[in-house]
């Protein structure tokens, strides 16, 4: 399994694990409650491996940002909650990614990244960040 099989589905809370593809879409399992759902191809779905964060110079893959959070937190849950104040979230994100583009990365984006990191941590899936790194290097 890799970050390619971890999905964010619009209008659905949390993250989902891709189970199998069907003719009209695919079956995904929630990492929050384990419930499975059928996802139509018309839904807006993003693989975590396809998402990037804007910086002042480039777009940094989400995997690298999550890996920096993992290093900062020593693999534990993040020290800030996705429910913290806008200032706390921005200060925390700045400590992770000093040159993130404040005009294009909104507090709601920071909340998602922190929430996604915590979901991966709670589901013991942070090792996926390392596995994807190894695949990129080969």
For the chain, the structural domain boundaries read 3-48, 51-137
The answer, yes or no, to whether residue 137 has pLDDT greater than 60, is no
For position 76, what pLDDT does the model report?
92
Average pLDDT, whole number, for the chain?
89
Report helix, strand or coil for 39: strand
pLDDT for residue 19 is more than 50:
yes
- Residue 102, helix vs strand vs coil: coil
Ramachandran angles phi, psi of 123, nearest 5°:
-95, 15
CA-wise closest residue to 113 among 74, 64, 76: 64
Confidence of residue 30 (pLDDT cuts 50, 70, 90): very high
- So what's the architecture of 3-48 in CATH? Roll (2.30)
98-118 pLDDT per residue, tens: 999 999 999 999 999 999 999
Which CATH code fits 51-137? 1.10.10.1650
Of the pLDDT bands very low, low, confident and very high (cuts 50, 70, 90), residue 42 is: confident
Is the pLDDT confidence value at 66 over 70? yes
Common-topology check for domains 3-48 and 51-137: no
For residue 88, name the pLDDT band (cuts at 50, 70, 90): very high
In the chain, DSSP assigns E strands to 6-9, 16-21, 25-30, 36-40, 45-47, 52-54, 59-61
What whole-number percentage of the chain has pLDDT above 70? 94
């Amino acid at each position: 399994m890799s970050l390619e099989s971890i999905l964010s589905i619009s209008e659905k809370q949390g993250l989902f694990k891709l189970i199998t593809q069907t003719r009209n879409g695919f079956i995904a399992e929630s990492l929050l409650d384990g419930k499975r759902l059928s996802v139509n191809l018309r839904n807006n779905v993003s693989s975590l491996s396809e998402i990037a964060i804007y910086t002042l110079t480039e777009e940094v893959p989400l995997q690298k940002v999550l890996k920096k959070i993992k290093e900062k937190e020593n693999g534990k849950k993040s020290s800030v909650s996705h429910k913290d104040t806008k200032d706390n979230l921005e200060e925390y994100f700045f400590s992770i990614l000093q040159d993130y583009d404040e005009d294009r990365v909104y507090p709601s984006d920071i909340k998602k990244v922190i929430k996604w990191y915590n979901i991966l941590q709670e589901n013991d899936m942070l090792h996926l960040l390392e596995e994807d790194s190894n695949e990129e290097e080969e």
